[in-house]
């Protein structure tokens, strides 16, 4: 039995939730898929999957093997990709997706350097704040600002950022400074609708205790720059990432609020569908971005 192939078949069955769908994905027959799984179970002396006519589930042994099999397959794919990258010149069209504000502020300055380094790559950058389906929409990779990434995608951490609560000096002069998270209920807030917690703002105090506040929104928007512009004009309080408002805070165009409280860190990630068969052009982009954001991020506020 080809043990590595058996791991791949088993992992695909679990991922697809079906022997038939796994066979389609692997371009083989359901009988062949069943044979590999049966032989793997026999060699290990343990059942890996519970099968019924309606559903498929992993046993405890299957769960442990699945996690390890994924790691092994990723390691093998990484080694293959590294070898192929060394032999293949990166070229062709590279479709990259990124959030609008982050793409303009922190990625756009990098593109001339990337294009000069890889003249055979045609860069196609799309900026949109919604989460796109990389496979369905034909992207090679995306940059995402996320706490958890996606279980369906492979990710590489580029940097971290953090949400900050702030307002203009004019707003604070007119409405006062909130001293506790609960005070936000008495203030006008500006919501970012793509946030994972639009109405409830979460923060931690110095003891690590979580505070969740249902804020009152005077305005909602699906664009961070619009929220920032409204805050600069004195309309209300915003909760936006440091990469967007860091320069405003340094120049005192905005002032930080509730500084004794903090929000969880958020990862800046390069995400792509799979390490397996990752193209040379996508791999050099991921490596380029990792190098560009190495060290202290440019939005660091001190």
Q: Return the axis-axis angle of helices 19-26 and 3-16, rounded to nearest 10°.
A: 120
Q: Could you tell me if residue 27 is left (phi over 0), alpha (psi between -120 and 50 degrees) or otherwise beta?
A: left
Q: Over 80: is that where the pLDDT of 10 sits?
A: yes
pLDDT at 237: 97
Confidence tier at 146 by pLDDT (50, 70, 90): confident
Task: Kindly indicate the confidence band of residue 2, based on its pLDDT and cuts at 50, 70 and 90.
Answer: confident
Q: Compute CA distances 40 → 5, 37, 48, 73, 177, whole Å.
A: 10, 5, 9, 16, 64
Pair 123, 96: CB distance under 8 Å: yes
The pLDDT value given to residue 188: 96
Segment 279-297, tens digit of pLDDT: 889 999 999 999 999 877 7
pLDDT for the residue numbered 179: 94
pLDDT value at residue 130 = 86
pTM, to two decimals: 0.66
Six token digits for residue 138: 């034909």
Q: How does residue 164 score in pLDDT terms, banded at 50, 70 and 90? A: very high
Give the C-alpha separation, 127 to 143, whole Å: 10
DSSP string, 68-133: HHHHHHHHHHHHHHHHHHHHS---EEEEEEE-HHHIIIIIGGGHHHHHHH-TTEEEEEEE-SS---
Q: Is 194 exposed, middle or buried (0-12, 13-18, 19+ CB in 10 A)?
A: middle
Range scoring the smallest mean pLDDT among 78-82, 118-122, 136-140: 78-82
pLDDT tens, position by position, 74-86: 777 767 666 655 5
Instruction: Tell me the per-residue pLDDT of 219-258, one tens digit each, with 9 for 90 and over.
Output: 999 999 999 999 999 999 999 999 999 999 999 999 999 9
The strand pair at 189-192 and 217-221 is best described as parallel
């Amino acid at each position: 039995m080809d043990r590595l192939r058996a791991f791949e078949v088993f992992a695909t069955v679990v991922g697809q939730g079906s022997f038939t769908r796994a066979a389609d994905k692997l371009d083989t027959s359901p009988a062949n898929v069943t044979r590999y799984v049966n032989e793997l179970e026999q060699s290990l002396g343990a059942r890996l999957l519970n099968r019924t006519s309606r559903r498929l589930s992993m046993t405890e042994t299957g769960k442990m093997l699945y996690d390890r099999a994924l790691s092994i397959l990723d390691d093998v794919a990484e080694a293959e990709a590294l070898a192929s990258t060394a032999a293949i010149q990166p070229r062709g069209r590279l479709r990259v997706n990124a959030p609008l504000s982050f793409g303009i502020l922190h990625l756009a300055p990098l593109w001339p350097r990337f294009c000069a380094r890889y003249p055979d790559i045609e860069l196609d950058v799309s900026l949109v704040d919604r989460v796109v389906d990389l496979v369905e929409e034909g992207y090679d990779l995306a940059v995402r600002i996320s706490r958890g990434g996606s279980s369906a995608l492979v990710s590489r951490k580029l940097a971290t950022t953090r949400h900050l609560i702030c307002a203009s000096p004019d707003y604070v002069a007119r409405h006062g400074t909130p001293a506790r998270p609960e005070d936000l209920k008495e203030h006008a807030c500006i919501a970012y609708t793509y946030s994972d917690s639009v109405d409830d703002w979460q923060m931690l105090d110095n003891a690590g205790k979580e505070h969740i506040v249902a804020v009152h929104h005077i305005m909602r928007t699906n664009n961070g720059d619009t929220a920032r512009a409204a805050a600069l004009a004195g309309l209300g309080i915003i909760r936006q990432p440091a990469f967007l408002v860091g320069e405003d805070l340094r120049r005192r165009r905005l002032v930080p609020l509730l500084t004794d409280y903090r929000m969880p860190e958020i990862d800046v990630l390069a995400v792509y569908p799979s390490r397996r068969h990752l193209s040379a052009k996508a791999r050099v982009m991921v490596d380029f971005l990792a190098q560009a954001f190495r060290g202290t991020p440019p939005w660091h506020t001190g």
